[in-house]
Structure 1
Amino acid sequence: MTVHMILGFIIFMLLAMPVGYSLVISGWVALSVFDSVPSSMAVMKIFQPTQSFPLLAIPFFILSGSLMMSGKLGKKLVALASMLVGKYHGGLGQVTVVGSTIFGGVSGSAVAEASALGSMLIPWQKREGYPGAFGAAVTASSSVIAGLMPPSIPLILFAVVSNTSIASLFIAAVIPALLLAGGMMIACYVIGRRRGFPRLKEKHTRAEIRSTLLSALPALLMPVFILVLLRAGIATPTEVSIIAVAYALVVSALIYRDLTGTRVMAALTSTVITTGVVMLIITAANIIGYILTSGGVPQAVANWALEYLQHPLLIILAINLMLLVIGMFLDLPAAILLLGPTLVSIGNAIGLDLVQLGIMMCVNLSIGLFTPPIGTTLFVASAIAKEKIGSVVKELLPFYLVALVVLLLVSYVPALIIY
């Protein structure tokens, strides 16, 4: 049954069928046709995960991000970032990284961030004399910070798969996210200095910086607000996500005063579409997970790793290498849901903390988002910049190095994330 499912999935993917549909059809056929399981049970396995209470956090976090990012807030954040780092070498690249880090604490989605920030910052960089390929590279790579900064959608998915605390994952992800941001800012500085990129010459008074900081403060407080509520045990992740929507509505209506019916409808539409895509993959992954578990695949893989690789450090290296390859072809949510159960079994077998495993998976698979041939943020940023993928990939080489260094630190220095 497992072999039939894998072959079916590969065939459907080669036919360019979307991942979610490929998973559902191959899993349903494997259950119903080759294992003689009643169709009603196959359907039940597909819809079972939609009844999970923690998963309700996903649409609400997406909605709060859509409400916050679609108004004046985006311009305020970009203005603040440009005031803080625009005057340095590679300043506009650093503005993108800082903006991505802040937006990551609002949106939780790398693709949404690449689209929203890229449409604002890439044309600006090109007007100031930056190469379009460089602007696309910075946007594509820095947008994946959203996969780590709370409220991270991938971390919520891993928590559901592994029965790990969402709050623990959110807190553990902050330092790796800041390490990525810091490393990418250093890369922008070095590249900007070596290649003589223009710097912003406009000077700002302390009063102007203070005013812009105060106007952007509601967005800056969003991830802090989420972490405090979770860490103090005041609310569950799902309750926090609903509070975040209320927070976004109040901020937009009373502070920025740009909340309109059109914006609300656009945010709701975007949320429904994004949630639908995520939930399709979740439901599909459940039936695939059932097939793999029934076939004893996770335990078999764990036993193989223990028998042949033996040392935990080698097993962690093998996990990372496998994820780097898979991340190039499979989107982040699908990879977490499909590989999560197997890797959790391996992690438990070698005594690897599941919080560390979750951060490892998110950092690793996030690299795939800006790596060809299927890199989502890479394609989004390249399309906005109107640059060829090959040109953007060449500019991405320093950012790949930064991401790999952070991945190694997360994998082999657990003190960074477990405290």
Structure 2
Amino acid sequence: MSTAILCGLIILITLIIMLIAGVPIAVALGVSSVCAILPIMDFDVAVLTGAQRIFSGISVFSLLAIPFFILAGNIMNKGGIAIRIINLAKVITGRTPGALAQTNVLANMLFGAISGSGTAAASAMGSIIGPIEKEEGYDPSFSAAVNVATAPTGLLIPPSNVMITFSLVSGGASVAALFMAGYIPGILWGLACMAVVYFMAKKRGYRSTAKYTAAEAFKIFLQALPCLLLIIIVIGGIIAGVFTATEGSVVAVVYSLILSLVFYKSIKLKDLPKIFIESAEMTGIIIFLIGVSGIMSWVMAFTNIPEAVSAGMLAISSSKIVILLLINIILLVVGTFMDMTPAVLIFTPIFLPICEALGMNMIHFGIMMIFNLCIGTITPPVGTTLFVGVKVGGVKIETVIRQLLVYFAAIFIVLLLVTYIPQLSLWLPSLMGYV
């Protein structure tokens, strides 16, 4: 048995056992990686090198963007943004069949992009739109399914912390290019779900009677405009080269503070310590996870595990179509029981070399991977967004899963389009000169 296969099996078996035992994912990653290198390295050297890899893994300037985007998202979540986004989405959807459900889809796309969290979008939108839909005769399970199915779109539509993580672990992917690449796939996901909502709502007779005068619509737009300007300022500044993604995250914090404290006055100074503490806790978890993943990346590179996996997959088939399909299936399965950040940290070093050997662009691969893992957030048994959406909707998970099946079909079609049509991901980055 080769060294790569032996070390790979040790990592896999140890990791699975520790996760089943309830060991935190970061600890499981570090311990399994150190165990894997022991057959070819002394224990003290392995531990010392592992510790060095943790510190070198987090000593990266671009990582500062993650805590600031998390903080900006938490401020915006508590800053009265959701209701203004919903009101704007209502105006846009008008009186189309299932207008309130269409509003939910559009609001999730906008709010998810602003907050950078699918879970926050599902919670905020579900708690506000859900009761209104119920009053107008919508089936609560239908409403919850729409909310759950579209909440992850904000993880593809920038800014997105998982894209920053992928940029780091890929060893060179441009954050700005990834941000631009996420727009079309994220919008296509939302549009596919809107098409499903249209036909299902038409069949069930869900119609809106709401009307807005031009003056009312303009007023609602003006109220929501400051929220939308966050995306324009941050993403526009990064694209124009005014500031980096890291500097843009600081701009997002300052802007969201001014918006929430001064403009909307929806949070007070006494609320800030709690927001800072919550953001610090989330940051600590993610940064520690990234640091520990540096041990696994080093072990994989040292023992040539990616090369062994690549050789094994290419031995199955030399067809690019088949290999990409296999990678999609693996990522879909992984996403059902693993959070996005650890999945990106673990599987990027394994699958990226294979895809690059097949001539796939790094940015295209990153969007394909993130798209797959986004689906995992709304899929049992560990789909966090799914469980949040079900809890907020006050319905049983079995009834929501049945309603979600048609949305999964639409989303999978978009995934295949994103996988096999590179320009869906690369057109905007190439237009901006990033690719």
State the TM-score, normalizing by the size of structure 2.
Answer: 0.91
Secondary structure in structure 1 of the residue aligned to 2:151: helix
Q: 1:393 aligns with which of 393, 401, 422?
A: 401
Q: Does 1:196 align with 2:202?
A: no
Q: Match for residue 60 of structure 1?
A: 68
Whole-angstrom distance in 2 between the partners of 1:6 and 1:159: 24
The one-letter code of the counterpart of 1:179 is L
Q: Paired residue for 2:190? A: 181
Counterpart in the other structure of 1:77: 85
| Alpha-carbon offset, residue 128 of structure 1 | 2.9
- Cα drift, residue 366 of structure 1: 0.7
C-alpha change, 1:8 and 1:209, in structure 2 (3 Å) is: same
Matched residue of 2:211: which SS? coil
* Residue identity opposite 2:405 in structure 1: L
Structure 2: how far apart are the matches of 1:344 and 1:61?
26
The 10-residue stretch of structure 1 (268-277 or 377-386) with the greater mean CA deviation from structure 2: 268-277
* Residue 385 (structure 2) pairs with residue 352 (structure 1): no
1:24-74 Cα distance to aligned partner (Å, 9 max, x none)? 333344456984242333222233322111111011111112212212222
Letter in 2 for 1:298: P
CA deviation profile, 1:101-151 (whole Å, cap 9, x unmatched): 111221112122222222222333233322222222122221101111111
Give the distance between the partners of 1:337 and 1:376, measured in 2 at CA: 19
Where do 1:278-293 residues align within 5 Å?
Answer: 278-293=286-301
Structure 2 Cα separation of the partners of residues 44 and 251 of structure 1: 41
Say if 2:116 and 2:158, in contact at 8 Å, map to a contact too: yes
Partner of 1:167: 176
Q: How does 1:87-106 map to 2 (within 5 A)?
A: 87-106=95-114
Name the structure 2 match of 1:372: 380
Q: How many Å separate the matches in 2 of 1:276 and 1:122?
A: 33
1:369-415 Cα deviation digits (max 9, x unpaired): 11111111111111222322221111111211121111111111112
The reply on whether 1:154 has 2:162 as its aligned counterpart is: yes
Q: Is the deviation greater in 214-223 or in 347-356?
A: 214-223
Q: Does 1:219 align with 2:223?
A: no
Which residue in the other structure is 1:17 paired with? Answer: 23
Aligned length: 418
Aligned to 1:4: 10
Distance 1:262 1:192, change over 3 A: farther
Which of 408, 412, 416 is the equivalent residue of 2:420? Answer: 412
What is the distance in 2 between the residues matched to 1:307 and 1:6? 21
Counterpart AA for 2:324:
I
Match of 1:273 in 2: 281
Please list the CA deviations of residues 195-220 of structure 1 after superposition, one character each: whole Å capped at 9, or x if unmatched. Answer: 223x3323211111101111101222
Cα offset, 1:247, TM superposition:
1.2
User: Match of 1:2, as an amino acid?
Assistant: G
| Whole-Å separation in 1 of the counterparts to 2:133 and 2:340 | 28
Percent identity reads: 35
Matched, 1:336 2:334: no
Return the TM-score normalized by structure 1. Answer: 0.94
Q: Does 1:48 align with 2:56?
A: yes
SS in 2 for 1:418: helix
Is residue 69–residue 253 contact of structure 2 (8 Å, CA) maintained in 1? yes
Quick one: distance in 1 between partners of 2:395 and 2:267? 35
| Inter-partner Cα distance in structure 1 for 2:87 and 2:400 | 26
| Paired residues of 2:335 and 2:377 also in contact (CA < 8 A) | yes
Tell me, in whole angstroms, the C-alpha distance in 2 between the residues paired with 1:183 and 1:167: 25
C-alpha separation in 2, matches of 1:376 and 1:122: 19
Contact residue 140 and residue 377 of structure 1 kept, 8 A? yes
Q: Is the 8 A contact 2:261 2:269 kept in 1?
A: no
Secondary structure of 2:52's partner? helix
Secondary structure at the counterpart of residue 147 of structure 1: helix
Quote the residue 2:333 is aligned against: 325
Aligned match for 2:255, one of 237, 244, 247: 247
Residues 302 and 5 of structure 1: CA distance in aligned 2, closer, same or farther (over 3 Å): closer
Deviations 1:76-96 (A, max 9, x none): 111111232253212221111
**What is the CA RMSD across the aligned residues, in angstroms?**
1.9
Task: Give the unaligned 5+ runs of structure 1.
Answer: none
Q: Which moved more, 1:152-161 or 1:28-37?
A: 28-37
